Amino acid sequence: MAAVESSLPPGTPSAMRNAFGTVLSALILVLIGVLAFSIRLFSVIKYESVIHEFDPYFNYRVTQFLSKNGIYEFWNWFDDRTWYPLGRVIGGTVYPGLTLTAGTIWWVLNSINIPLSVETVCVFTAPVFSAFASWATYLLTKEVKGSGAGLAAAALLAMVPSYISRSVAGSYDNEAVAIFALIFTFYLYIKTLNTGSLFYATLNAIAYFYMVCSWGGYTFIINLIPMHVLLCIVTGRYSPRLYIAYAPLVVLGTLLAALVPVVGFNAVLTSEHFASFLVFIIIHVVALVYYIKGILTPKMFKVAVTLVVSIGLVVCLIVVAVLVALVASSPTGGWSGRSLSLLDPTYASKYIPIIASVSEHQPPTWPSYFMDINVLAFLVPAGIIACFSPLSDASSFVVLYIVMSVYFSGVMVRLMLVLAPAACIMSGIALSQAFDVFTGSIKYQLSSNSKDDAEDNTTTKNAPKDDAASGKTDKGEEVAKERSSKKGKKKEREPADKPSVKSKIVKKKALVLPLETSIVALLLLIMLGAFYVIHCVWAAAEAYSAPSIVLTSKSHDGLHVFDDFRESYAWLSHNTDVDDKVASWWDYGYQTTAMANRTVIVDNNTWNNTHIATVGTAMSSPEKAAWEIFNSLDVKYVLVVFGGVIGYPSDDINKFLWMVRIGGGVFPHIKEADYLRDGQYRIDSEATPTMLNCLMYKLCYYRFVETDGKGYDRVRRTEIGKKHFKLTHFEEVFTSHHWMVRIYKLKPQKNRIRGRAKKLKLKTSSGVSSKSAKKNPWM
Amino acid sequence: MAINKKLLSLLLLVSSLSSIALSSSSFSDPDSDSDLTNELVSLRSNSESGVIHLDDHGISKFLISSPTPRPYSILVFFDATQLHSKTELRLQELRREFHLLSATFLAANNNGSDLNKLFFCEIEFSQSQSSFKRFNVNALPHIRLVTASTSKLTDESGQMDQSDFSRLAESMAEFVEQRTKLTVGPIQRPPLLSKPQISVIVAMIVVAAPFVVKRILRGETLLHDHRLWLSGAIFVYFFSVAGTMHNIIRKMPMFLQDRNDPNKLVFFYQGSGMQLGAEGFAVGFLYTVVGLLLAFVTNVLVRVGNVNVQRLVMLVALVVSSWAVKQVVYLDNWKTGYGIHPYWPSSWQ
């Protein structure tokens, strides 16, 4: 925008218009920021200012630690309250970007005497960063197709449901800041590519560093940018600007990435990063070729080309051989499980149940796209085509971005989040182009009808319009207007595109559509946009705002609130000893440590499969064997989540098969088939004896029959199979108001003498069981 | 194959003669046991992967008339050529895996003492129908382990479950190892390309590379064609939003047969977690067509001179686009119960 103004002499009408445009688009950007922030506040309004779900509780706990103890303590933090008895080195295993960001915000606010609590800062970090992300989208799209498209894309991103789902107030997770970092890194890359400025290249490396700090998804960047560079080279678009955009990023970026403890030497050792190094070598070879081409005569160059190509090939082959050797020496080929399941989508379901078990790692069906990017799904193809006419370095990058992200989103529903910005950019470009054409046609037809003067067209068409008042058409106006300034800018910046742009302007005189159909098309587009807005507001309000720590349900007699989780965690923190160990399935680990401040065995950071499998085995074993396992882990309380009374479907009984699978993956005596009747998972009278006797069944359904006299499970919609039974090794100590959380205490060991004779006999038994058998008084 | 069959019938003839001759001898004669084993070994050596093709005679000889406990176990694969065309049974795939399992077992126990304790056999339905009856096999795919102590062929305890060949040869090997206590060893699949093939390909790449690089430098390849990239990008987009990856990973069919009415085909599945192939492509098409029409109107149609053509084409495009959007909303509503509502100010109501 500044470039446009400086290029025009001040005082002329068009300079005035541009100044007005700058102010107007700044105002619109502020409004977009407000929109992005406020649409994410539904969760606070409908529920309360509370941290959501599971992972955010861990981040919140880390932030609390950081704000209390300072950064050095945080860096060296060894957490002994989780993964008992192993513990976890938090400083070295966590992406610190989010925590440091929120910690910094809290520190700045406090030092200027705004006394917000850490929790408040954490709750509102995500909405604030969504505003930043939409501004970054504006910048990125402006670099690609001008500020009109930029504004449209920013407005779309501000309310795209996919992004809302991960960034509502209270959803304090890595993705909240990472999407901003992702878009901003891409913007700086494109900016460097367009300007060839080392300043932006350095900023780009720093933005990449921030991204590496924030999210494991940074590997998407470090593979996408090399791919784009390679694409540019292959299609003959190499330029010194490309070199400046890429080489500093690889060198500085890799060095900086290695500074993050959780990445460390992975930045140079794992296959995810090899593509960037390979392209780094290729771009040097190509740069050399271009340099030699410049200093030699064409004839000499032909001779030289053979030489250089052969040397370059040899170097490449050697490097490839080294890489292959390195990759082959590691068991998974140097790829992490999650990345492998992207390349070979069937990988995870075959080999890694713990990845396959997470619902956000499932492949999406078509309704997911409609839910998460809504009408953008219709507009993206038009955006792709718009990017091809004409194709520039920048537009080829966004095309590559959408293609890669849409493919990856097809493999894992979680990566829909990476697709969302790309879809917004593409749709912004498409909308901007469509509004440009339609409003231009209307303007042309109207003015030619009234004046019958064909020569006046170009100027009137490029002038800003001031009809129509709805929000969408506001954008349309912008689109029409800003495209003219874009053309001016492009002319001076990209000499390569000059002829095509110029010819387009000349041709544009005749590029109009009939008046009536243009108006209808415009109206339909506005309706489409209105539908998008309604959908997004609805999705933000209804679908994505539930904190999942407090549940509500509406029935004919009003609103019911289920606050059982906090009730139980509060019970734990008030009624148990501070050093007691609580066992539960890993989903509730973070919440237990953060809210109840009790030591847990496993948590949502699923780094140790064996440990999780141990808990899974305990849950799937009969009472006695489970007691042994838990006792060997010093567990004092077992917590299960049960939804059968109120119909809460994501309870432990529904997750139970995964416990069996994960447990059976490490301890083969747990077999999934034992829990299934003819391949069907059931808990009614047809259920297998193994199922009816396992700990999870007993802990969930203990005394359940007392609730209604029949034992009718409202989630499974059936009467349970075994209704009256007693617990021998566990005793119930707490059941929450709606029975959603039930806490049991392990019964203490009885007098040792009683079982002594039998115990001696059992010493011959092998493995884990013999170890724990020593402690078991009942055998 | 023909030679094999001839040889087989010859051997059977010889063996049946000898068995008649030997039938008078004592019941669990170690000599006859070792004879049977030797015969199996020789039969096995005729086959490349070590799978013995048996028919009714072979079954009766090696499994029925032989006294228990036999010195060997036999893993039988039940095959039916007429069912090979039914791909959902995966008979041919399983048969290949079975052969692979056998080859692996042979390789792993090449010199070991366990080599002659387990034999891999297959019988074909059209050749040995009575054996199918004897084994009481009504449905395929079916793999049965007849252990050394199994006396009744109808005893179905040795049957391999669906889950045991779900992961192909690997899970079959686990089953065998579990039941027979023999080691099969890690399954070694033949690599996709053999070593000479790889070296030829590498050599071709090396030779071709300079020419390719030269063409790239000149800018003459297919890769410089924007239309190719454009259609590729649109195709990937269509492919993904249609949920094709879901269909591949979950192995979803294109359509289902209606349970109530077998003549009716079900193309759309109600429920959000799943989709059928045809359904995905239909909606993917609806997703893509709107954008393509919009791009056509804004990029191509504006260049058309004739106003009436413009008017007509735009009208068609608008009708099709709004129909597509409506259709997707309707389908989504039908499939997932999707229903949105705006939030008007309460004073308006």
pLDDT (tens digit per residue) in A341-392 = 666 666 655 555 555 666 777 888 899 999 999 899 999 999 999 999 888 9
Has residue A759 got a pLDDT over 70?
A: no
Residues from chain A contacting residue B219 (CB–CB below 8 Å): 235-236
**By the 8 A CB rule, do A144 and A425 touch?**
yes
Query: What ipTM, to 2 d.p.?
Result: 0.79
**With an 8 Å Cβ cutoff, are B237 and A402 in contact?**
yes
A/B interface, count of CB pairs below 8 Å: 203
What is the model's pLDDT at position A2? 40
Quote the CA–CA distance of A700 and A644 in Å, as a whole number: 9
Residues from chain B contacting residue A524 (CB–CB below 8 Å): 318, 321-322
Quote the CA–CA distance of B154 and B140 in Å, as a whole number: 16
**With an 8 Å Cβ cutoff, are A410 and B243 in contact?**
yes
What is the model's pLDDT at position A65? 94
Has residue B75 got a pLDDT over 50?
A: yes
Has residue B81 got a pLDDT over 50?
A: yes
Residue type, A281: I
**With an 8 Å Cβ cutoff, are A350 and B167 in contact?**
yes
**With an 8 Å Cβ cutoff, are B223 and A367 in contact?**
no
What is the model's pLDDT at position A343? 64
**With an 8 Å Cβ cutoff, are B287 and A520 in contact?**
no
Token code pair at residue A601? 């065995």
Selected residue of A233, A343, A360, A378 to mutate for chain B interface (largest B Cβ count, 10 A) = A378
Has residue A427 got a pLDDT over 70?
A: yes
What is the model's pLDDT at position A438? 92
Segment holding A108, helix H or strand E: helix A97-111
Q: How far is CA B212 from CA A279, A282, B170, B207, in A?
A: 17, 15, 42, 9
What is the chain A residue with the closest CA to B296?
A: A382
**With an 8 Å Cβ cutoff, are B240 and A407 in contact?**
yes
Quote the longest CA-to-CA distance of chain B: 105
Mean pLDDT of A465-482: 39
**By the 8 A CB rule, do A253 and A205 touch?**
yes
**With an 8 Å Cβ cutoff, are A399 and B229 in contact?**
yes
Taking 3-state DSSP, the helix, strand and coil percentages for chain A, each rounded to the nearest 5, stand at 70, 5, 25
**With an 8 Å Cβ cutoff, are A410 and B343 in contact?**
no
Kindly report, residue by residue over B108-159, the tens digit of the pLDDT.
777 777 777 788 888 888 887 887 877 777 777 788 888 777 777 776 667 7
What is the chain A residue with the closest CA to B232?
A: A403
Under 8 Å CB-to-CB from A514, ≥6 apart: which residues?
A: A441, A445, B307, B310, B311, B314
Long-range contacts of B179-184 (CB under 8 A, 24+ apart): B179/B145, B179/B147, B180/B73, B180/B117, B180/B118, B180/B145, B180/B147, B182/B105, B182/B109, B182/B114, B182/B117, B182/B118, B183/B108, B183/B109, B183/B114, B184/B101, B184/B104, B184/B105, B184/B108
Whole-model pTM: value is: 0.77
What is the model's pLDDT at position A508? 46
Out of A365, A403, A521, whose CB is closest to B275? A365
Asked if omega into B141 is within 30° of 0 (cis), the reply is yes
**By the 8 A CB rule, do A401 and A422 touch?**
yes
What is the model's pLDDT at position A523? 95
Asked if omega into A85 is within 30° of 0 (cis), the reply is yes
Residues from chain B contacting residue A516 (CB–CB below 8 Å): 311
Band of pLDDT at residue A120, cut at 50, 70 and 90? very high
Kindly report, residue by residue over A175-197, the tens digit of the pLDDT.
989 999 999 999 999 999 999 99
- How far does the CA of residue A704 sit from the closest CA of chain B (Å)? 30
Has residue A36 got a pLDDT over 90?
A: yes
**With an 8 Å Cβ cutoff, are A411 and B249 in contact?**
yes
DSSP strands (E only) in chain B: 51-54, 73-79, 118-124, 142-146, 256-257, 265-266
Kindly report, residue by residue over A534-563, the tens digit of the pLDDT.
999 999 998 888 888 888 888 888 888 889
- How far does the CA of residue B287 sit from the closest CA of chain A (Å)? 5
Residue type, B281: F
Region for A114 from its dihedrals, namely left if φ exceeds 0, alpha if ψ lies in -120 to 50, beta otherwise: beta
**Average pLDDT over chain A, rounded to an integer:** 83
What is the model's pLDDT at position B5? 58
Band of pLDDT at residue B22, cut at 50, 70 and 90? very low
Kindly report, residue by residue over A13-25, the tens digit of the pLDDT.
788 888 999 999 9
Residues from chain A contacting residue B284 (CB–CB below 8 Å): 366
What is the model's pLDDT at position A776? 45
Long-range contacts of B332-335 (CB under 8 A, 24+ apart): B332/A367, B332/A370, B332/A371, B334/B268, B334/B270, B335/A367, B335/B268, B335/B269, B335/B270, B335/B271, B335/B272
- How far does the CA of residue A519 sit from the closest CA of chain B (Å)? 11
Token code pair at residue B282? 């239909």
Has residue A766 got a pLDDT over 80?
A: no
Mean pLDDT of A433-455: 80
Out of A375, A383, A409, whose CB is closest to B240? A409
What is the model's pLDDT at position A752? 66
Quote the longest CA-to-CA distance of chain A: 112
Quote the CA–CA distance of B201 and A602 in Å, as a whole number: 49
What is the model's pLDDT at position B295? 93
Out of B209, B223, B311, whose CB is closest to A235? B223
Out of A305, A317, A349, whose CB is closest to B249? A349
- How far does the CA of residue B203 sit from the closest CA of chain A (Å)? 12
What is the model's pLDDT at position A617? 93
| Distance, CA of A580 to chain centre | 34
Band of pLDDT at residue B29, cut at 50, 70 and 90? low
**With an 8 Å Cβ cutoff, are B229 and A389 in contact?**
no
Residues from chain B contacting residue A369 (CB–CB below 8 Å): 241, 243, 287
What is the DSSP secondary-structure string of A351-365? H-HHHHTSGGGSPP-
**With an 8 Å Cβ cutoff, are B224 and A236 in contact?**
yes
Kindly report, residue by residue over A568-625, the tens digit of the pLDDT.
999 999 999 999 999 999 889 999 999 999 999 998 887 888 999 999 999 999 999 9
What is the model's pLDDT at position A324? 76
- How far does the CA of residue A306 sit from the closest CA of chain B (Å)? 8
What is the model's pLDDT at position A377? 94
- How far does the CA of residue B61 sit from the closest CA of chain A (Å)? 35
Out of A305, A381, A411, whose CB is closest to B237? A381
**With an 8 Å Cβ cutoff, are B342 and A375 in contact?**
no
Residues from chain B contacting residue A289 (CB–CB below 8 Å): 217
**With an 8 Å Cβ cutoff, are B291 and A513 in contact?**
no
Selected residue of A346, A366, A371 to mutate for chain B interface (largest B Cβ count, 10 A) = A366
Q: How far is CA A419 from CA A2, A152, A503, B290, in A?
A: 31, 17, 34, 19
Band of pLDDT at residue A774, cut at 50, 70 and 90? very low
Residues from chain B contacting residue A235 (CB–CB below 8 Å): 219, 223-224
Has residue A472 got a pLDDT over 50?
A: no
Kindly report, residue by residue over A150-182, the tens digit of the pLDDT.
999 999 999 999 999 999 999 999 998 999 999
- How far does the CA of residue A190 sit from the closest CA of chain B (Å)? 20
A761 or B272, higher pLDDT: B272
**With an 8 Å Cβ cutoff, are B216 and A236 in contact?**
yes
What is the chain A residue with the closest CA to B289?
A: A378
Residues from chain B contacting residue A331 (CB–CB below 8 Å): none
% of chain A surpassing 90 pLDDT: 50
| Polymer length in residues for chain A | 779
Backbone angles phi and psi of B141, in degrees to 5: -75, 150
What is the chain B residue with the closest CA to A522?
A: B318
Out of B232, B295, B302, whose CB is closest to A385? B295
**By the 8 A CB rule, do A594 and A58 touch?**
yes
Quote the CA–CA distance of A658 and A315 in Å, as a whole number: 49
- How far does the CA of residue A442 sit from the closest CA of chain B (Å)? 13
**With an 8 Å Cβ cutoff, are A388 and B229 in contact?**
yes
What is the chain A residue with the closest CA to B301?
A: A513
Kindly report, residue by residue over B198-256, the tens digit of the pLDDT.
888 888 887 887 777 777 666 666 667 788 889 999 999 999 999 888 888 888 888 87
Least confident of A247-261, B267-281, B287-301, B310-324: B267-281
Least confident of A236-240, A346-350, A700-704, B258-262: A346-350
**With an 8 Å Cβ cutoff, are B294 and A434 in contact?**
yes
What is the model's pLDDT at position A763? 53
What is the model's pLDDT at position A500? 45
**With an 8 Å Cβ cutoff, are B233 and A399 in contact?**
yes
Backbone angles phi and psi of A53, in degrees to 5: 50, -145
Mean pLDDT of A324-349: 62
